[in-house]
A and B are shown apart, each in its own frame.
Chain A
């Protein structure tokens, strides 16, 4: 059974960067991994994602300038790095798997448990 194992909680200063990992356990990184965040008491916000077959990730317009998503296929791990952090970036960050069949990219069917990132001076 495929599981997504995320790295632990982080506390960061404003202006710094955070890098969160998501390891595919019980399978290989053969489809896609996306990143979604949820600020306290708020809704879900799609940030971006990466398909295993492509090198270039897709980013939400809001995050294009300060988000990096990379993958280490040898360890089936996907990384999300967000820079220039501000207090509004305090949130739980989820990774989630999406299947790809041909030209069709499907919704998120498996989720990690989330990583809490707190931005505070």
Chain B
């Protein structure tokens, strides 16, 4: 298992702001990093995989970058629907560990 450290734990922002969430792996994980969005009472939704590839369901204002041990999720021009909790995840054939999560709130 590769522990993942996410920061910040909470992020206060306004509609229209641009925000960045960081995720750090304890060892080199290449590009094997995903980002999820979760809203209360719902299962998570996959937004980004392989560190920077958006899923078909993810709006283009979301972007991911990084490789190795340092990764970021960026949201440009926050929309009301974006206020949620975001999780990073390292995935491979043996493990799929999550970061602690970042709550993006108004």
Contact = CB atoms under 8 A, between A and B. Distances in A.
Contact of B91 (A60, A103, A105): A105
Given A61-B1, A107-B34, A107-B49, A46 B95 contact: yes
Contacts of B49: 106-107
A45 B89 CA distance: 10
Provide the main secondary structure of the chain B interface.
loop
Contact of A98 (B44, B91, B101): B91
> Taking chain A's interface residues, is the majority helix, strand, or loop, or is none over half, making it mixed?
strand
For B44, B94, B96, B101, which residue has the most chain A Cβ atoms within 10 angstroms?
Answer: B96
A113 B100 CA distance: 21
How big is chain B's contact interface, by range?
A: 20 to 34
Contacts of B98: 36, 43-46
Given A107-B34, A107-B46, A113-B43, A49 B100 contact: no
Interface in A51-91: 51, 58, 60-61
Given A44-B87, A44-B98, A105 B93 contact: yes
A49 B46 contact: no
A17 B34 CA distance: 32
A96 B3 CA distance: 20
Given A58-B94, A61-B1, A104-B93, 13 more contacts: A34-B96, A36-B98, A45-B98, A51-B93, A58-B93, A94-B44, A100-B93, A105-B93, A106-B91, A107-B91, A108-B44, A108-B96, A113-B43
